A and B are shown apart, each in its own frame.
Chain A
Amino acid sequence: MNSLAGSQPDPYFDDLYRDLILDHYRLPRNNRVLDAPDADLTQFNPVCGDEIRLTARIRNGAIEEIAFVGQGCSISQSSASMMTEAMRGRSIEDAHALAHNFRAMILGEDVDEMAMGDLMSLQGTSRYPTRVKCAVLAWDTLQKALGGASGREDVGSSDPDSAG
């Protein structure tokens, strides 16, 4: 690293790989498989092999506990990690709404920054079309998993690309 020692990180880099993303990538939160989950779903991104297994316990129409394991790039894994933090305690309806807003943000739409909180750190992904699938993989998985666990129609997942 001698030739580059002391060089400043390029702002271009910071746009996608924010510190918060790298922190979640290195130290993923809720990184385990839950016992006796009400929802348990594994999804892949067939293009790049990213993989997320999500487990969740649902009580009284709300996400009581949620965790993930997986492998893949920093964007897919940090997104999953941040999602588990953001989802705990939310009603299923509310979870779908947040997933909807997250997807909108990743597709470059304006969103309520206060409501998104830490998730805003992933907004830079919207400038990298090839990475959109990485960012939304965990969220697609959650919405599909909740659709099953809540015993009703999947109300939030309308992205035709989310299959598979």
Chain B
Amino acid sequence: MPDHPSQLDVESIRGDFPILSRVINGNPIVYLDSTATSQKPKQVIDTLADFYRTSNANVHRGIYTLSEESTAAYEGAREKTASFINAASSSEIVFTRNTTESLNLLAYAWGRANLNEGDEVLVTLMEHHSNIVPWHMICAERGAVLRFIPVTDEGFLDLTDIDTLITERTKGVSFTHISNVLGTVNPVRELVDKAHAAGAIAIVDGAQGAPHVAVDMRDMDADFYVFSSHKMLGPTGVGVLYGKRALLDEMPPFLGGGEMIMEVREDGFTWKDPPWKFEAGTPNFADVVAFGAAIDYLTELGMDRVRQHEIEITDYALRQMRSLGEGVTLHGPPNPEDRGGVVSFAIESIHPHDIAQTLDWEGVQIRAGHHCAQPLMRRLNVPATARASFYVYNTNEDVDRLIDALKKAGELFGR
């Protein structure tokens, strides 16, 4: 890092991640599945353990020291989250269980109140199942229609017919910020503006966005932006639903129960203001507090430098993989500037599961499968892909280990 102050000090970062010292099948681990879940630095692990050791008590309840500490830590993490994505207010940050739950909350709470017979919801063919299935479910319930923006051969959204896809019938447009398979960085602001021009709301699935690029809610102007802690160095079990305050005010509650109510009577109930209106039951406060430590960690690294690091490593990976020869197919945009740190690929005559299996023997951990994106798999005309993904702790040496392991797999299956 001292050599290039603009770059991440990856060696020092790696020292913060205890799991990277593991040996897998006799080889030092190369973890290339951060798109599925990221690893955790000791700062996050320690914060979680320390919270349970020193400050654990239910939030928003007791008039006693521990509960006040716990509440302050929980609400403090909300402030950090709001500031990380430049939300206008921390009241726009609702904590859920994960991105999927955030999207389900929107489908049900917003969808039931706003979708009617013949209305349309527009998603894209590169969505994760979590941004398709809840819409299928609510559209079926409301008599609404789910439509899809197609994808080009290069892996971009095909916006040729966008003006016939977004019409006055469109009530919501929900799309991914960055594809978990292709890595494609979508033109968020353009789609948000088109949705708004048609009177629709814009929902952005930021599961692969917020962990990897700087996001600014006031600049993006999306109505809702959803993401998960566990993909950005934080613990599992914490999702974020950012929503513009006016929309959170209008939307009815989703889950009912304790914590979200103002008053409960025999003949009804009233609820709290956002964000608590959407947080029924005891929240996952300990993990939320540790998520705050993950945000601190990323903030210290600087999201612009995180992005630059991923562009550089993806560029290196794409070059190295192309050098493997004609049997290798790379999915997604060719230019690393247009994509996140995700490389999906196919190797002729070796099924993705066999690739992942043989790489595992070399300690290289990649993902193989449909990546919860079956419509996209059909569009690519493949049953599955192998996928390597990169984050702040990955190095070019990790890419070299991947390439060596792929050569070894090629040798085995070519013998």
Contacts and interface: CB of A to CB of B under 8 A. Distances in A.
Contact of A49 (B361, B370, B411): B370
A9 B354 contact: no
A93 to B, nearest CB: 33
Contact of A16 (B357, B370, B408): B357
A134 B357 CA distance: 13
B407 interface: yes
Interface in B331-361: 349-354, 357-358, 361
Interface of B is mostly: helix
Contacts of A7: 408, 411
A35 to B, nearest CB: 26
A1 B410 contact: yes
A98 B256 CA distance: 54
Contacts, number: 60
A31 to B, nearest CB: 15
Contacts of A74: 350-351, 354, 413
B412 A4 contact: no
A5 to B, nearest CB: 9
B90 to A, nearest CB: 40
Contacts of B383: 49-51, 71-72
A13 B351 contact: no
Given A16-B357, A47-B369, A72-B351, A3 B413 contact: no
A12 B361 contact: yes
Interface residues of A, number: 25
Given A1-B407, A22-B415, A72-B383, A48 B353 contact: yes
Interface residues of B, number: 24
A74 B351 CA distance: 7
A26 B349 CA distance: 8
A49 to B, nearest CB: 4
A13 B361 contact: yes
A98 B52 CA distance: 54
Contacts of B411: 1, 4, 7, 9
A34 B370 CA distance: 30
Which of A16, A22, A74, A128 has the most chain B CB within a 10 Å cutoff? Answer: A74
B412 A17 contact: yes
Interface in B392-414: 404, 407-408, 410-413
B357 A3 contact: no
Interface of A: 1, 3-4, 7, 9-10, 12-13, 16-17, 22, 26, 47-51, 71-75, 128, 131, 134
15 contacts: A1-B411, A7-B408, A9-B412, A12-B25, A13-B361, A17-B354, A22-B415, A26-B349, A48-B353, A48-B384, A49-B377, A49-B384, A72-B383, A73-B353, A75-B354
